[in-house]
Structure 1
Amino acid sequence: MQNLLFIVNDSPYGGEKTFNALRFAINLQEDHGKEVNIKVFSFSDSILSGIAGQNPNEGSNVQQLIDILVAQGAEVKLCTSCVKARGLLEAKLIDGVTLGTLADVSEWTLWADKVLTF
């Protein structure tokens, strides 16, 4: 069993890093199923990925990717400090997404066999 931590930092709709990180995680889960455990921690502007109700005009819908990952059993957390800094503590999160702390991502880093950053 491989434990994989994805740390994402970029805005979900300002570029493709967050989109690529999430679709890579989905692909690993689909191709290797029970051979991988996946966790995703979002810092900085990538916390916007976990806010419910976004409807991008064109391109990739990151919320759909998060929904798939959560349905596959991945844990997804948003940095609480980053959410607070952007005035989004009252925002509704995507079902299955929770707020996390540096203690959480530190614990996940020690848990992980591999840490991938985007």
Structure 2
Amino acid sequence: MNKVVIIINDAPYGSEKAFNGLRIANQINKDYPETEVVIFLIADGVNCAIPNQNTPNGYYNIERMLKLSTNKGTKLLLCGSCLEARGLKEIPLVDKAQISSMAELTKTIIESDKVLTF
């Protein structure tokens, strides 16, 4: 089985990096359902996992895109120290989000066939 990890460093809104990373994840899920997809949110990317955000005009809803991906089997991991640094470690997160670590990210990278960063 192929494994792809998509690392999102950028906030959900303000640029299209998170949007494009999630577009790729969802396209992989659609076209290559046998491929394991892991999304790792790090740095300001952890903000993508905050539920119920009001989407700015002109931007797609990141929460809906994450839900679409995780409902297709994507594993959603978040950097715990990044959450803590932003005061987000104790707030509710989107469904299926798992607090993770740099050690798990490193292991995931080593085990993956492809690594994409946004």
Aligned residues between the structures: 117
Corresponding residue of 1:43 = 42
Separation of aligned partners in 2, 1:115 and 1:57: 29
Q: Which runs of 5+ in 1 are unaligned?
A: none
Shift of 1:57: 3.3
- Note if contact 2:13-2:56 (Cα within 8 Å) is conserved in structure 1: no
Code of the residue aligned with 2:11 in structure 1: it is: S
Q: How does 1:1-118 map to 2 (within 5 A)?
A: 1-34=1-34, 36-58=35-57, 59-118=59-118
Runs of 4+ in 1 over 4 A off after TM superposition: none
Separation of aligned partners in 1, 2:3 and 2:78: 19
Code of the residue aligned with 1:30 in structure 2: it is: K
- Note if contact 2:78-2:100 (Cα within 8 Å) is conserved in structure 1: yes
Aligned alpha-carbon RMSD (Å): 0.9
Q: Which runs of 5+ in 2 are unaligned?
A: none
- Note if contact 2:3-2:111 (Cα within 8 Å) is conserved in structure 1: yes
Secondary structure, in 3 states, of the residue corresponding to 2:6?
strand
Identity of aligned residues (%): 34
After superposition, the C-alpha distances for 1:30-68 in whole angstroms (9 at most, x for unaligned) are: 01112x110010111110111112121322100001001
Normalised by the length of structure 1, the TM-score is: 0.95
Normalised by the length of structure 2, the TM-score is: 0.95
After superposition, the C-alpha distances for 1:79-107 in whole angstroms (9 at most, x for unaligned) are: 11110001111211101011110011011
Shift of 1:14: 1.5
Code of the residue aligned with 1:114 in structure 2: it is: K
Secondary structure, in 3 states, of the residue corresponding to 1:39?
strand
- Note if contact 2:10-2:45 (Cα within 8 Å) is conserved in structure 1: yes
